[in-house]
Amino acid sequence: MTHRMRLVDEAQTHIQRILKAGDYAVDATAGNGHDTLFLAQCVGPKGHVWALDIQAQALDATQRRLMEAQCAEQVTLCKQSHDALINTLPKFTQGKVKAIMFNLGYLPGSDKALTTQTHTTLSALKQALEFLADEGILSIMLYPGHPGGDEEAAEVFRWSQALTHDAFTINHIQTGKSSAPELILIAPKAAGGPRPEQVSDSESDARAQ
């Protein structure tokens, strides 16, 4: 649990250094809305966040959190699987989204069967790259410690390693044993903006791939 919290914070720290007021962002797994609220606060009222989840319960919790923080205006909630990203986000956002977050697994305190699935996750990640800005960042939190999560984490890692290293910087951050959460950060190399390995002040085992 400590590791999970630390890596979630680490993902947000990297994103915070890139995502600015007025930007676009996507939360591909809204869950209880912690990441959606974080993104909404970064982009402010002049920016916009699209948050997707397949569960109404998750989107309701996210909506409540946003309302309490008076950030609901700058967020569109979509009851949609993230493998329909291309049909869900407006066309004008292609190549313009500065931060895309995936926090895989199941909704804490809910039905563990409603977890992210390897094939839809991989499809969504490929689509996410179409939307990522040159100076943007894609973060993926992986949870190998639950049934199906180990296969999903391994496949997502394999997919990230198959991306061309001429075009992307890929950081894989592990904190401990094989069942512990992992974080993958992917940033296009094109625009020369801050790259994950340059901004990391983490004490964790951050390995530039």
- Interface of this chain with ligand SAM, residues 156 to 185, rule: CB under 6 A: none
| In the complex, least distance from residue 101 CB atom to ligand SAM, rounded to whole angstroms | 7
What's the Cα-to-Cα distance from 145 to each of 1, 111, 131, 172, rounded to whole Å? 11, 16, 30, 17
29 binds ligand SAM (CB under 6 A): yes
CB neighbourhood size of 88 (10 A): 18
CA neighbor of 86 nearest in space, from 50, 139, 57:
50
Between the alpha carbon of residue 100 and those of residues 69, 118, 147, the distances in Å are 21, 18, 25
- The reply to whether 11 sits near ligand SAM by the rule CB under 6 A is no
Q: Please count the residues of this chain forming the interface with ligand SAM, following the rule CB under 6 A.
A: 21
Q: Does 10 bind ligand SAM (CB under 6 A)?
A: no
Instruction: Convert residues 96-135 into a mask of x (bound to ligand SAM by CB under 6 A) and - (unbound).
Output: -------x-xxx------xxx---x---------------
- Residues in contact with 154: Cβ distance below 8 Å, sequence separation at least 6, in sequence order: 144
Contact residues: ligand SAM, CB under 6 A: 29, 31-35, 52-55, 58, 81-82, 103, 105-107, 114-116, 120
